Amino acid sequence: MAKLVGYKAEGHRQKVFIKKIQTKEIFLVKKLRDKLLSICVIFFSVTTEKQ
């Protein structure tokens, strides 16, 4: 019985860990996307000013 409880707790810990990694990745992706968007906006404004 104790073994089963320990196993369940370990599984839960791994799930929480995976969830933390996923939220971190999502955060990083959003950050990168925002950076890319701002670069694109700057690039487009510069190219339209030149014309």
Number of domains in the chain: 1
**Is 21 a member of any domain?**
no
For the chain, percent of residues with pLDDT exceeding 70: 96
Task: Note whether residue 46 is domain-resident.
Answer: yes
What's the pTM? 0.53
What pLDDT is stored for residue 1 in this prediction?
A: 60
Asked if residue 5 is part of any domain, the answer here is no
Task: DSSP letter for 1, please.
Answer: -
Q: Above 70 in pLDDT, residue 38?
A: yes
In a domain, 16, yes or no: no
Residue 18 lies in a domain: no
- Report how far residue 50's alpha carbon sits from residue 36's, in angstroms, rounded to the nearest whole number: 21
Range of the domain at 34: 26-51
C-alpha 51/C-alpha 47 separation (Å) is 7
